[in-house]
Amino acid sequence: MDKFNETTVFQELKSINEQLHKLSVYLIDDKLTGEPGLVNKVRKHDDRIGRLELKEKIRDVRAGMWGAAASILLLIIKFLFDIFKK
């Protein structure tokens, strides 16, 4: 009877081990197929989001610079018209 319990425990442990291996393939890269796991997929998406956020910040700074340059140009033109108007 002791032997029977040990074998069933061993079989259950083996089954749990196989299930854990299947789960680890989903989380970590699958070495057989080369498919990236969830951890790497999330990391890639985080990198993409970071790059998009950086591009958006750069775009905002450029827009602000162009706005400031246009304002300065308009002030210079207004100043020149005021000088020549007199």
Q: Please determine, for residue 4, whether its predicted confidence score (pLDDT) is greater than 50.
A: yes
Nearest to 42 by CA among 53, 61, 29: 29
* Structural element, H or E, at residue 47: helix 38-85
Residue of higher predicted confidence among 76 and 29:
76
Looking at residue 35, what is its pLDDT?
79
80 with 73: CB under 8 angstroms? no
Q: How confident is the model over 36-69, as pLDDT tens digits?
A: 888 888 999 999 999 999 999 999 999 999 999 9
Contacts of 39 (CB under 8 A, 6+ apart): 27, 28
* pLDDT level of residue 26 (50, 70, 90 thresholds): confident
Spell out the domain ranges in the chain. 1-35, 42-86
Indicate the DSSP class of residue 28. S
